[in-house]
Amino acid sequence: MAVVFQRPKSLCDVPTHYCPGCTHGIIHRLVCEVMDEMDIAGNTIGVCPVGCSVMAYDYFACDMIEAPHGRAPAVATGVKRAKPDSYVFTYQGDGDLAAIGTAETVHAATRGENIVVIFVNNTTYGMTGGQMAPTTLPGQITQTTPYGRDPKVQGYPVRVCEMLATLDGTALAQRVAVDSVPNIRKAKAAIKKAFENQRDKKGFSIVEVLSTCPTNWGLSPTEALERLRKDMIPYYPLGVYKDKSAEEKEAAK
């Protein structure tokens, strides 16, 4: 009998707390598939902060550490420096990474800390009720922008990959999405590239994953995926914003 689906060994066999239609589960699976393929789960330490990822320690079958809100890159820095031979990754949402954690993220990147950051961008504060996040799109209605985000009042969204791509310590800055099978495959390849960069001591790697939040968007799961394609991807274009390995190969020609 052909096997058409198999749970990764690194993904715990437990129910999740995520809302129906939430794409966190897809992203968890991709990270775990990469750990399985590289056979590194036994030597991997994940760091999850406050947010929808706060209970990620229940789902990843590797060592996990809980970090204060926004401080995952700082905690991961300490872990990696104390255990340089371990694989260390953070799993963070946009309300965490791009708001209270902006300084930790930027300075970990500019120092070239040899860690992997999985950045889940769903343009809202998911866990706390759907308030405006740094990544909330112009015109987007949230609990704190009931008439839509007005750039004249609340400013413009932060494009994290574009910002971090300007820093010398960044080895990889890539934005992907999990709205379709082809994009999910590209997302997995990006996550694997990030972990390979850590193995090869390339420096700081961030993979930004455009994700959905049907509950706080007030949409069905299908409608949420369509919104991701129609509204998010045009504002946050998918692609590689920096790949130090590719740059080095090009320079060597």
What whole-number distance in Å separates Cα of residue 32 and Cα of residue 10? 5
Q: Which of 77-81, 95-99, 125-129, 184-188 has the lowest mean pLDDT?
A: 125-129
pTM for the model = 0.95
Q: Is residue 8 part of a domain?
A: no
- Residue 249 falls within a domain, yes or no? no
Q: Please give the structure tokens belonging to residue 119.
A: 């950045």
Residue 253 has pLDDT above 80, yes or no: no
Whether 116 is in a domain gets the answer yes
Please check whether residue 108 lies inside any domain of the structure. Answer: yes
Q: In what order do the strands lie in the sheet with 239-243?
A: 63-66, 44-48, 87-93, 116-121, 204-210, 170-177, 239-243
What is the total count of domains within the chain? Answer: 1
Q: Which residue range forms the structural domain that includes residue 97?
A: 24-243
- What is the pLDDT, as a whole number, of residue 126? 84
Give pLDDT tens digits for 165-174: 999 999 999 9
Let me know if residue 215 belongs to a domain: yes
- The answer to whether residue 150 is domain-embedded is yes
Calpha distance 72→95 (Å, rounded): 13
pLDDT in tens, 141-160: 999 999 999 999 999 999 99
For 80-121, how does the pLDDT look when each residue is reduced to its tens digit (9 = 90+)? Answer: 999 999 999 999 999 899 999 999 999 999 999 999 999 999
Share of the chain above pLDDT 90, in %: 89
Q: Is the pLDDT of residue 53 over 90?
A: no
Domain-located, residue 4:
no
What CATH number did the domain enclosing 215 receive? 3.40.50.970
Asked whether residue 217 is assigned to any structural domain, the reply reads yes
